[in-house]
A and B are shown apart, each in its own frame.
Chain A
Amino acid sequence: MSTETTQAAAATFAHAAAAERSALALLEVRGLTAQYGPTKVLHGIDFAVGAGGITTVLGANGAGKTTLLRAVCNMIRTGGEVRLAGERIDGLATEAIVRRGVGHVPDGRGTFMNLTVEENLRVGAHARKDRAEIGVDCERMYTYFPRLKERRRQQAGTLSGGEQQMLAVSRALMLRPRLLLLDEPSFGLAPLIVQQLFEILKAINQAERIGMLLVEQNAAMALALADHAYLLETGRVVMSGSAQAIRSDEQVRRSYLGY
């Protein structure tokens, strides 16, 4: 018994970092592929989001960033393994994946234009059972984003782009997710608002221990927020590592950070 155990322990020790990461991983993805019709967009991607961590996926337009998020919640034809806290979720219907605690701030914000701001928030809590807590959470979103409170009775279609982005983040948080998928939350926002939004995301991540998978074109902001980063090029991961390591990489600095 003792030799086997020792060997196993040694093996575990040898892969300490990897083993620890996967044991703690909230989201673990292996060999993820995705296609639109006959066109393959993702060619076998491996990545992970640590529990309570923020992982960012960087890449140029058309690299497959949005597709990657869609593939995680099975909105398109996909292959590969997706595990949420160790449980397989690939192959489940999108709404079933969401019900397991995966919030999604989609590409284009996904605003329910004809519902009021408050109705948008309430609809975000649709999958929850604790009806009594929903009002409390609405108020919590209003403390994060006071602008939404001012406009709570307004039709969401009348909001500005930035306000709709705040609404999209709040709506996803109303699910009380374990994992939040964010598709270019900085898109179309003024720099100052992007700054505020990322500060709030950081605060939410720290206060509520929600894991986040952030897809961004704004590499500087994303790398400042995230603890881990992947670089995507035409559907393949070409580089990965701690956000700090990626940030100091010469190649990344020139191509994505622009200095």
Chain B
Amino acid sequence: MNQLLHQVLSGLATGGIYASVALALVMIYQATHLVNFAQGEMAMFATYIAWALMQVGVPYWWAFAITVAGAFVVGVAVERIIVRPVENSPILALVIVFIALLVIFNSVAGWIFTYTIKPFPSPFPAEPLFGNRFMSSHEIGSMAITLIVLLLLFAFFRFTPLGLAMRAAAQNPVSSRLVGIRVGWMLALGWGLAAAIGAIAGIMVAPTVFLEPNMMGGILLYAFAGALLGGIDSPSGAVLGGFIVGVLENVVGVYVGSELKLTFALVVIVGVLVVKPSGLFGKVHVVRV
């Protein structure tokens, strides 16, 4: 029983990471109906930047803040410079662009930082917090950070005029222009936010998975499974889906076999697509032809 509780709790901690990346995917999907396959690699690259900053002596939280801000700028730039010019291309061309971005970020990271696995520091103390036996302080800390980020985002989209304009632009670009919203900038802003969330997720997961150019590969897959499970067009569904996948993945790893963890993510993806393509909280889309 203790074993199960332990696995569930640490599953929630990794689930928080999946939830963040899933939310980043959904934010871009809602606005453009495209899945940014490079989301994970962008996060990985940002994590390397944080690492490099710490190598030259920048304190942890400063490195964190600079990296997140930098990731935001890079996200905006990627949308404006790379995605914008091809946004009206056929879907397959766009998928190729995203895969190209993935490969570029991955190989440039390998070229600059080599493929050697590097340890990444945690800002949280090594001994467990509050003397608990179930979660490490890094798990508790990263979960807290994730929850704070999710709450801030929720408040931003729910209560600020800019957040409202971004939701409107994602839903109905034509109507949005007719109320004076600069839809193009809202999309770029969405990319910036998604990249910033990804960077936080990368920095939080790096102490566990270690820093290397392929560190986000599996995580992107779990996040995608979470997003699909919750409903690819439902932000809160994606967050919940991310947590569910995190817990189940951990439980499967212990009780079935850790070799099957990634297989489990793929089973969830295929299963959702076959049984309920709209996910648990997504809307069923009926297209009139």
Which A positions have Cβ atoms within 8 angstroms of B? 73, 75, 93-95, 98-99, 104, 106, 110-115, 119, 122-127, 131, 171-172, 174-175
Contacts and interface: CB of A to CB of B under 8 A. Distances in A.
B175 A98 contact: no
Contacts of A127: 179-181
Most buried by B among A112, A122, A131: A112
B179 A171 contact: yes
B175 A110 contact: yes
Nearest to B283: A114
Given A110-B172, A126-B161, A75 B177 contact: yes
Contact of A123 (B164, B182, B183): B164
A112 B178 contact: no
A98 B177 contact: yes
Contacts of A111: 172, 175
Given A119-B164, A123-B165, A126-B161, A98 B180 contact: yes
Contacts, number: 67
Contacts of A123: 164-165, 168, 176, 179, 181
Contact of A112 (B161, B175, B182): B175
A122 B174 contact: no
B88 to A, nearest CB: 14
B171 interface: yes
Contact of B179 (A93, A124, A131): A124
Interface of B: 161, 164-165, 167-168, 171-172, 174-183
A122 B178 contact: no
B112 to A, nearest CB: 39
Contacts of A110: 172, 174-175, 178
Given A98-B180, A131-B161, 13 more contacts: A95-B180, A98-B179, A106-B178, A112-B172, A114-B167, A114-B171, A115-B167, A115-B171, A119-B164, A119-B167, A123-B164, A123-B165, A126-B181
B178 A115 contact: no
A111 B179 CA distance: 11
29 contacts: A75-B174, A75-B177, A94-B177, A95-B181, A95-B182, A95-B183, A98-B178, A98-B179, A99-B180, A104-B178, A106-B178, A110-B172, A110-B178, A111-B172, A112-B168, A112-B171, A113-B172, A115-B167, A115-B168, A119-B164, A119-B167, A122-B164, A123-B164, A123-B165, A123-B176, A126-B165, A172-B178, A175-B179, A175-B180
Contacts of A131: 161
A186 to B, nearest CB: 19
A95 B173 CA distance: 11
Contact of A106 (B165, B171, B174): B174
Nearest to B174: A110
A126 B169 CA distance: 11
A94 B178 contact: yes
A172 B174 CA distance: 14
Nearest to B178: A104
Contacts of B183: 95
A115 B179 CA distance: 14
A102 to B, nearest CB: 9
Contacts of A115: 164, 167-168, 171
Contacts of A126: 161, 164-165, 168, 179-181
B180 A113 contact: no
- The 6 residue pairs across chains A and B that have the minimum distance between CB atoms: A127-B180, A110-B175, A98-B180, A94-B177, A104-B178, A123-B168
Most buried by B among A111, A114, A125: A114
A127 B183 CA distance: 12
A63 to B, nearest CB: 22
A99 B181 CA distance: 9
B161 A122 contact: yes
Contacts of B182: 95
Contact of B171 (A94, A113, A124): A113
